[in-house]
Amino acid sequence: MHTKEQHSKQTKPIENDCFLRALNRQPVDRTPIWVMRQAGRYLPEYLKVRAQAGSFMNLCRTPELAAEVTLQPVNRFALDASIVFSDILVVADVMGCDLHFVEGEGPQMRKPIRSAADLKACVQPDVQETLSYVMDTIRLVKQGLNQRVPLIGFSGSPWTVACYAVEGSGSREFSVIKSMLYRDPALLHSILAAIQKVTAEYLLAQVEAGVDVLMIFDTWGSLLSPTLYQHFDLHYVRPIIAAIKAKAPHIPVIFFTKGGGLWLETQADLGCAALGLDWTVSLKDARARVGNRVALQGNLDPSALLGSPESIEQAVQAVLADFGPGNGHIFNLGHGIQKETPPEHLQHCIEAVHRYSPAYHQGV
Amino acid sequence: MHTKEQHSKQTKPIENDCFLRALNRQPVDRTPIWVMRQAGRYLPEYLKVRAQAGSFMNLCRTPELAAEVTLQPVNRFALDASIVFSDILVVADVMGCDLHFVEGEGPQMRKPIRSAADLKACVQPDVQETLSYVMDTIRLVKQGLNQRVPLIGFSGSPWTVACYAVEGSGSREFSVIKSMLYRDPALLHSILAAIQKVTAEYLLAQVEAGVDVLMIFDTWGSLLSPTLYQHFDLHYVRPIIAAIKAKAPHIPVIFFTKGGGLWLETQADLGCAALGLDWTVSLKDARARVGNRVALQGNLDPSALLGSPESIEQAVQAVLADFGPGNGHIFNLGHGIQKETPPEHLQHCIEAVHRYSPAYHQGV
């Protein structure tokens, strides 16, 4: 293990900066690509380390192993960014929800936050201390990357973290938090404010530890109406982005509401560098709607990687053509890569981006 | 049991026609209201009949009981429409998938359609015969309603029925059918065409049995990209609506893609009378986008009915204000009513629609 000082100061510039340039809507030779959950169950080398760790949370909490799986996809594939291996719910965990993962059932909180008393019992954690395993992972990854590509740190949106913290688990309709929203909105606002505070500190701690980019995953914003999305979701994202802009103005932030394609205009006003898009949105339409305010990241259907090499190539071409010529596109999937995906299919996808995207960057 | 002839010819006009008038964008005194799954588990009288039936499918297949639960909500509440109690998956069942419901797990197909051989083994059912229990239910309900309010018949969209027929059950990502879409699109097109044919016949049989309105539920269209939504979903809905327009031009059709708010313009060109909307869409925006082509049905968040009487009243007012003054709005939830909903909360909702909607219809 190395000390913070050794790794937080990188003097060497990042070698492959096309992801950073695209985030800033600057010219690039080709469209950069990384994929959500690129370190994950579709990779045999991941499964090996995951088995060694015993549990998903042990893997997250063991910096050497978390760093190893973070580096696996960038070592195997020509990806243009790395993303820290962790989970959005570690924030709820250190607030006192006691997170664990049940095989085949997903995340479970032993102590969900369902009342004012539950909230009062929550910890105001020192994230540098309680999430030191994430910071250690970041430092190890930065060392392992040796400035080859940028490293992305991340969190969930307060609304999305609250979905699990209040519900106690994943759910189709999240009826516990939705009930709370209508029955006791003041309580829910207090919970969201508490999560917001910890999330902002957590993201800034990741910057201090060495990440180059931040992403905020808003997986469950689409459970809300347009008005509630403003009041219970974006209202708690905006101050987080403002805090990052104030304290780490050089760090671009990507914001992604899964299923949030109806609300791109308002997302583009959050102050982030880029918006993530799922595959239900046309990149062309999205671009017309957000103008030059933000870069766009996405949006290949993850299921497309289950097709034949030819169909993958066609699907990649369709995404590139949909965005069209110009700057500010980061190729990605519209959601996490599926565990059934053959790794060589991701390889086809990356090669297709390398083959077909340069044409969209000539003379622009 | 009564014969077809006795019930298919209703000479008395429908007493409360505000739902039909709204579907045709004609003036009404107040906004009509019905709610998806209004015959369902939130009603104690439903649970009693459900227990008597033994299983969900037995309830569907026993016309006297299915008619009884269909009538329960219109007998209890001042609803402006009735909807036949059945399931969208009976179409897959009579094609040979062998549908059953597992308690707490939802629909299961004993024989999913996953190959050309599976498709070949499918039956081309005579829906009048194999789904005679639905037609008998419709005739009994029409008798029980005695023209108080219109009766809605329904089906799933071919894509949505295929999601279950191919997958074999519900799913978060429906990765079996999504894989098939990319790996063997020709096979999936054949499956969809087969389901389309049966669905069109089924809906026309419901018209013959006496329904006044038809609704097509497209629960899973939002799994698709904009292009795939055209090719694998709407492509198979359009001929169904055309067949209804040709053979039963007096029957208005409502089309509802859950999560399809990005694609309203193209839905409005299907030839249907109305579009269903979930609560992620602003009715005001939707109205601006579809113009006078269709009426709009929706879109209160079902979770809003878990709030206090005051918050329900406010939420209803917000929906009415969002649509604003004018014709062509049918009040509904944005998805099925939740089983945790206290029945008196639906009563509050209906009363609020009665109280606040007339102001939006004065002088328009």
DSSP one-letter string for A7-46: HH---SPPS--HHHHHHTT---SS--B--TT-SSTTSHHH
- List pLDDT tens digits, range A136-186: 999 999 999 999 999 999 999 999 999 999 999 998 889 999 999 999 999
- pLDDT of A10 reads 61
A287 is an active site residue: no
Of A203, A205, A270, nearest in space to A233 by CA: A270
> CA–CA separation, B223 vs B82, rounded Å?
29
Mean pLDDT of chain A, nearest integer: 95
End-to-end CA distance of chain A: 45
A87 is an active site residue: yes
The reply to whether A6 touches chain B by the CB within 8 Å rule is no
Contact A326, A9 (CB under 8 A): no
Residues B203-211: what's their mean pLDDT?
A: 98
Q: Mutate one of B37, B163, B262 to test the A interface: name it (highest A CB count within 10 A).
A: B262
The reply to whether A227 touches chain B by the CB within 8 Å rule is yes
Kindly indicate the confidence band of residue A104, based on its pLDDT and cuts at 50, 70 and 90: confident
- Which percentage of chain A shows pLDDT scores above 70? 97
- List pLDDT tens digits, range B337-354: 999 999 999 999 999 999
- pLDDT of A9 reads 57
Contact B320, B353 (CB under 8 A): yes
> Does residue A8 have a pLDDT over 50?
no
Kindly indicate the confidence band of residue B9, based on its pLDDT and cuts at 50, 70 and 90: low
Catalytic residue among A21, A25, A30, A50: A50
The ipTM, to two decimals, is: 0.93
Which residues make beta-bridge pairs with A153? Answer: A214
The reply to whether B146 touches chain A by the CB within 8 Å rule is no
Spatial CB neighbours of B237, under 8 Å, sequence gap ≥ 6:
B157, B158, B159, B216, B218, B255, B270
Q: Cβ–Cβ of A182/B226 closer than 8 Å?
A: no
- List pLDDT tens digits, range A286-338: 999 999 999 999 999 999 999 999 999 999 999 999 999 999 999 999 999 99
The reply to whether A264 touches chain B by the CB within 8 Å rule is no
> CA–CA separation, A277 vs B231, rounded Å?
21
Of B303, B302, B316, nearest in space to B348 by CA: B316
CA distance to partner chain B, nearest, from residue A215 (Å) = 23
> CA–CA separation, A120 vs A113, rounded Å?
9
**Chain A CA closest to residue B319:** A225
Measuring CA to CA, how many Å separate A85 from each of A10, A88, A134, A203, A347?
21, 10, 9, 14, 20
- pLDDT of B10 reads 61
In the stretch 303-322 of chain A, residues with CB closer than 8 A to chain B read 303-304, 306-308, 311, 315, 318
Kindly indicate the confidence band of residue B3, based on its pLDDT and cuts at 50, 70 and 90: very low
- pLDDT of A173 reads 87
> CA–CA separation, A155 vs A174, rounded Å?
20
Spatial CB neighbours of B317, under 8 Å, sequence gap ≥ 6:
B352, B356
Measuring CA to CA, how many Å separate B8 from each of A216, B90, B201, B211?
57, 22, 17, 9
Q: Which residues in chain A touch residue B181, judged by CB atoms under 8 angstroms apart?
A: 303
Residues B317-321: what's their mean pLDDT?
A: 98
- pLDDT of B104 reads 79
Residues B128-147: what's their mean pLDDT?
A: 98
Kindly indicate the confidence band of residue A6, based on its pLDDT and cuts at 50, 70 and 90: very low
Which of B227, B259, B304 lies at the smallest CB-CB distance from A182? B304
Of A131, A149, A128, A150, nearest in space to A251 by CA: A150
- List pLDDT tens digits, range A38-47: 999 999 999 9
Q: Which residues in chain B touch residue A228, judged by CB atoms under 8 angstroms apart?
A: 301
> Does residue B273 have a pLDDT over 50?
yes
The reply to whether A298 touches chain B by the CB within 8 Å rule is no
Question: Which tokens hold the place of B142?
Answer: 């029409």
Q: Which residues in chain A touch residue B218, judged by CB atoms under 8 angstroms apart?
A: none
- List pLDDT tens digits, range A246-293: 999 999 999 999 999 999 999 999 999 999 999 999 999 999 999 999
Measuring CA to CA, how many Å separate A314 from each of A307, B34, B175?
10, 44, 20
- List pLDDT tens digits, range B292-304: 999 999 999 999 9
- pLDDT of A103 reads 80
Instruction: Say if residue B299 is preceded by a cis peptide, omega within 30 of 0.
Output: yes
